Structure 1
Amino acid sequence: MSKIDSFLARRRIAYFSMEIALSPAIHTYSGGLGVLAGDVARSCADLDLPVVFVTLLSESGYLRQEIDAAGRQVEHADPWNPAQHAVPLEAMVAVEIEGRRVWIRPWLYVLTCPLGNTVPVILLDTDIQQNAESDRLLTDRLYGGDLAYRIKQEIVLGIGGERILRALGFTIFKYHLNEGHAAFLALSLLKSYRRRTNTWGGSLLYEVDPVRDLCIFTTHTPVEAGHDRFPYDLVQGTLGDFIELEQLKLLAGEQELNMTRLALNLSGFVNGVARRHSETAQRMFPGYTIRAITNGVHAPTWTHPKFAEKFEAAAPGWSHEPEILARIDELPDEPIWAAHAAAKHELVAKVAELTGAAMDPERPILAFARRMTGYKRPDLLFTDLGELTRIAAERPFQIVMAGKAHPNDAEGKRLIEVVHRHIGALEGKVAVAFLPNYDFALARYLVAGADIWLNTPMPPLEASGTSGMKAAINGVLNFSVLDGWWVEACTEGVTGWAIGKDHETGSDSAAELYEKLGNTVLPLWYDDRPRWIWMMKQSISKIGSYFNTQRMMRRYATEAYLG
């Protein structure tokens, strides 16, 4: 029996994602989108859902971040060795790119959950001797290169991935497109349908309906730059005559190919990743029905071992059924605080190891760890250094930050420099550390060891955000702008705190942040520790029990996959 045969009989759903975080040693992800996909895979294994995952091999990873003496991001390749984690499969398919054949070889990674269930992950690789040198690099660097490189990667993922599944013998009844990067998959299904039914030149209306019955599309961003667009001259030069240009324009936009619009037109089930995001996406794309399935996190992956011990004692089976965590608010204070203290000491040690900064475990740690880009506003906390210093003089606190900027995001890279200038200006007044190379492994220290999780996006540009969910399950209290998932999860003074008011997009966010930090959050930490611990337990019981990928994937299974 081949390595893939054991999966063929019952895999009926294919989940396509440009990136996926499988383990810290496998660098096939850049941030939240990939980490979510990895949590989805882990929950599919837990729940024994018949899903196969398809992604790019990305052998050189996304980027390894170094911060130089001037506080600038320096990017390096972040390679990993596929042979140490996956096995190459005996199948290859070709796609046409710029008029030549590009061959794709699949690798198999088997993800196993603690219950022993498994899901297959197919990693697509073009680094084979049959390909031209430039084509061998198409699956080398995640999100690398220019527009031409990106469209070729998305052809490999969507068209190549669909062909690979057929070549391997999978029979798929539903295809889940995780973001618009995978939209060429739906186009490939359309072409296959037209070939089988000999409907070339017929009415597009009747041809897309069977494809829409097969496809589920999850859109992840309300940020315009997050929707891939390609000029049609580039599309024609790359895809050739794969589909008639006039018909493609009907599906993907008249002026340029919009991958989100292509996915919307070829998917029968479309959803946003939070209720607020669904509303925002509905305004961005009127005429489509965009449902809401709010994201979650894989609870056992992100729960610190000390907390996991307490959870298992109080709520056996919580890792498979996180809703049982609703009982955690009945635990006494001592075990919760002891578990937090252990996680916090580990974070303090990691900060010292990476930066040399000495954090005090007896003082609160405020964490900000996100992708570094303009709308996330990583510099909002530093708007008024005088006010920040005044607050810290009355009730001292510490700040730990982390995050990467995309190599082409000049604004994100500038913000990293700005943050480092603020760190220098605050030296001796407020302890601030920036941890380089934020990744899967480092995130575990941050989401478990911080006391306060800060999130300051510009509304309504946060689609969901899952880092705060990871923090909440460890009793870390969220302090966030009301956007994304936090609109659903925030009960003021119970699960955390809001910065500003709902639907607020004005310029007073910094003043509101300072007012609540200085007058509500820090006084509670210093003056009413029992209430703080009570809130920690509310955070775990009310957020951890709901904002998890077990609940999320049960909804996908019943509402999308069985539809």
Structure 2
Amino acid sequence: MSPLDVLQAEPKIAYFSMEIGLRSDVPTYSGGLGVLAGDTIKACADLKLPVVGVTLVSRQGYFRQELDANGRQHARPSPWDPSRLMTLVKPRVKVVLDRRPVAVGAWLYWVDSPTGGRIPVLFLDTDFPDNAPEHRELTSFLYGHDAAYRLRQEAVLGLGGGKMLQALGITVRKYHMNEGHSALLTLELLERFRRPIESVWQEDLVWDVERIKDLCVFTTHTPVEAGHDRFPYDLVERVLGAPLPIEVLKRLGGPEELNMTLLALNLSRFVNGVAKKHGEVSRALFPGYEISAITNGVHSFTWTCPDLAALYDAHLPGWANEPELLVRVDNIPDAALWAAHQAAKTRLLALVARATGARMSPDVLTIGFARRMTMYKRADLLFSDVKRLADFGDGRLQVVLAGKAHPQDEPGQHIIERLFQAIEALRGRVTVAFLPDYQMDMALTLIAGSDLWLNTPRRPHEASGTSGMKATHNGVPNFSVLDGWWIEGHVEGVTGWSIGPPPWESTLTDTPDIRDAHDLYDKLERVILPLYYDDRPGWIAVMKHAIGKNASYFNCHRMMRRYVTEAYLR
């Protein structure tokens, strides 16, 4: 059967995402959203689901991070060649941008699973000689340039992606929009299924909104109003022309600006947030809409280090495609689990030494923290009081940090500089290292080799978070603010520890940095460090609970089964 025959073999779920992170050498992701999308595709392959992924090729990658001695970030392109791993499919489709036709092609990549499942992913590309130079660049940089560039990118994804699936002869059962970036897909569908005016005799009814809603699923990932993509209607008219009569577009996408989240909400039958708390926050942001919650997961096999994977293979056979089996973690001897963890830790410390020159001890409690460097993540909360941290952490604590700030996020870049200042202030007492150019391969080494995974977002800005789920797959307990998924996964002192007050005591305007820092220090000094150094069996018990109670549930296999039963089969 030819690749095209496979694509056309049965109706598909078309999964649209601006970024899909499948491997480090295909740098078409910026962080959690893209890695989640990649994990979703891998789980679909494991489960042999009829899914096709649609994304942008982003030929220049997100960016390669270089840091100088003071922590100043320099963003460099991260070019890659899709022809090395992918096949350019024959059809080209046209999307009209700036009143000119733009040719859109697609590179086909196959995600293969040991179960025999195969998922095709289409990486859309506009870098063709017949396109104008500014349009050839649209699939070069992920989240690049200004609002006009972003709108054109989203048109390539939504309008171009919808047309490409049709040109390839792929029958689509459902269209799943992963975040609002692909919401313009709905305009392509409205046009495709437009009714003849003589069949309805009313202009509004030519747009078959109910049919499109039946076809579409929308997952929102943004818990704050300011985070939703919006475009002025004069820009929309200049870039897209008039895809719908303006009064219809404003009714669906918002009266003042084209709000991509509103557009997707109004044209999707099933809508969900990515954690229970995020579902609540989303319903408050968009009252009147039915918004469910399907908590994110991670791809278990991808995010389990080789040492732990070998242990699971020996004691929990079948775990990779049935992560629920991780509840039987007590089958693993404590000594074997500790030895596997220490092997992962040794690998991390070797990476730290190579990348930064910092020398760390395998016998010292190691905190890991890696996030997108932006203000609400509060990467510097741990260093709010370096004197106190040095006093109780001297010789007993070491920290490994990593993360990129968006090139246009100056406050985020300043956070990295402050972290470098903290490194100097703590030198000789608490060893702290910052790993540059964080990416997927490094992430697994960092997460699995840490003893404790730290997460300090400002509540309730964390829609879900997935790095902590990855930590649990490696027996690494979480120490986190109660937000996103951790509200559901947290059992104090059992699966890990909380920072700050419970979620019902915080609001979108709450900024309890000082209170959270005090709680972080108190718990680290009085609870976590004593347990690690004085009660090894007790610490290993927390490691096992993280695996058995968290990793067994917070995985993409469970997540995708819920999407199938609650969204795709409706």
Could you state the TM-score of these two structures normalised by the residue count of structure 1? 0.98
CA distance in 2, matches of 1:457, 1:204: 45
CA distance in 2, matches of 1:205, 1:241: 15
Could you state the TM-score of these two structures normalised by the residue count of structure 2? 0.97
Is the CA contact 1:499–1:513 (under 8 Å) kept in the aligned structure 2?
Answer: yes
The match for 2:410 is: 410
Q: Which amino acid aligns with 1:545?
A: S
The match for 2:471 is: 471
Give the alignment of 1:179-194 within 5 angstroms: 179-194=179-194
Is the CA contact 2:454–2:480 (under 8 Å) kept in the aligned structure 1?
Answer: yes
Give the alignment of 1:30-179 within 5 angstroms: 30-179=30-179
Aligned sequence identity (%): 56
The match for 2:289 is: 288
Q: Cα distance, 1:390 vs. partner? A: 1.2
Is the CA contact 1:218–1:272 (under 8 Å) kept in the aligned structure 2?
Answer: yes
Give the alignment of 1:365-380 within 5 angstroms: 365-380=366-381
Q: Cα distance, 1:315 vs. partner? A: 1.3
Is the CA contact 2:195–2:205 (under 8 Å) kept in the aligned structure 1?
Answer: no
Deviations 1:47-75 (A, max 9, x none): 00000000001011001001112211100
Does residue 540 in structure 1 map to residue 540 in structure 2? Answer: no
Count of matched residue pairs: 562
CA distance in 2, matches of 1:362, 1:522: 12
CA RMSD of aligned residues (A): 1.3
Going from structure 1 to structure 2, the CA distance change for 1:543 and 1:370 (only over 3 Å counts) comes to same
Which stretch shows the higher mean deviation, 413-422 or 291-300? 413-422
Q: Cα distance, 1:312 vs. partner? A: 1.4
The match for 1:454 is: 454
Please state whether the residue corresponding to 2:172 is helix, strand or coil: coil
Q: Cα distance, 1:206 vs. partner? A: 7.1
Going from structure 1 to structure 2, the CA distance change for 1:245 and 1:334 (only over 3 Å counts) comes to same
Please state whether the residue corresponding to 1:559 is helix, strand or coil: helix
Please state whether the residue corresponding to 1:532 is helix, strand or coil: helix
Please state whether the residue corresponding to 1:345 is helix, strand or coil: helix
CA distance in 2, matches of 1:414, 1:26: 28
Going from structure 1 to structure 2, the CA distance change for 1:171 and 1:360 (only over 3 Å counts) comes to same
Is the CA contact 1:199–1:207 (under 8 Å) kept in the aligned structure 2?
Answer: no
The match for 1:236 is: 237
CA distance in 1, matches of 2:245, 2:287: 26
The match for 2:357 is: 356
CA distance in 1, matches of 2:238, 2:201: 22
Is the CA contact 1:329–1:540 (under 8 Å) kept in the aligned structure 2?
Answer: no
Please state whether the residue corresponding to 1:173 is helix, strand or coil: strand
Q: Cα distance, 1:7 vs. partner? A: 2.2
Please state whether the residue corresponding to 1:560 is helix, strand or coil: helix
Q: Which amino acid aligns with 2:553?
A: Y
Q: Cα distance, 1:257 vs. partner? A: 0.9
CA distance in 2, matches of 1:337, 1:370: 26
Deviations 1:446-490 (A, max 9, x none): 111000000000001000000000011100010000000000000
Which stretch shows the higher mean deviation, 243-252 or 502-511? 502-511
Please state whether the residue corresponding to 2:565 is helix, strand or coil: helix
Q: Which amino acid aligns with 1:184?
A: L
Does residue 487 in structure 1 map to residue 487 in structure 2? Answer: yes
Is the CA contact 2:65–2:75 (under 8 Å) kept in the aligned structure 1?
Answer: yes
CA distance in 1, matches of 2:560, 2:206: 31
Is the CA contact 1:365–1:398 (under 8 Å) kept in the aligned structure 2?
Answer: yes
Q: Which amino acid aligns with 1:550?
A: H
CA distance in 2, matches of 1:555, 1:477: 26
CA distance in 1, matches of 2:558, 2:240: 39
The match for 2:536 is: 529
The match for 2:325 is: 324
Q: Which amino acid aligns with 1:254?
A: P
Is the CA contact 1:194–1:200 (under 8 Å) kept in the aligned structure 2?
Answer: no
Give the alignment of 1:175-214 within 5 angstroms: 175-194=175-194, 202-203=203-204, 207-214=208-215
Please state whether the residue corresponding to 1:138 is helix, strand or coil: helix
Going from structure 1 to structure 2, the CA distance change for 1:253 and 1:374 (only over 3 Å counts) comes to same
Structure 2 stretches of 5 or more lacking a match? 507-511
CA distance in 2, matches of 1:204, 1:514: 61
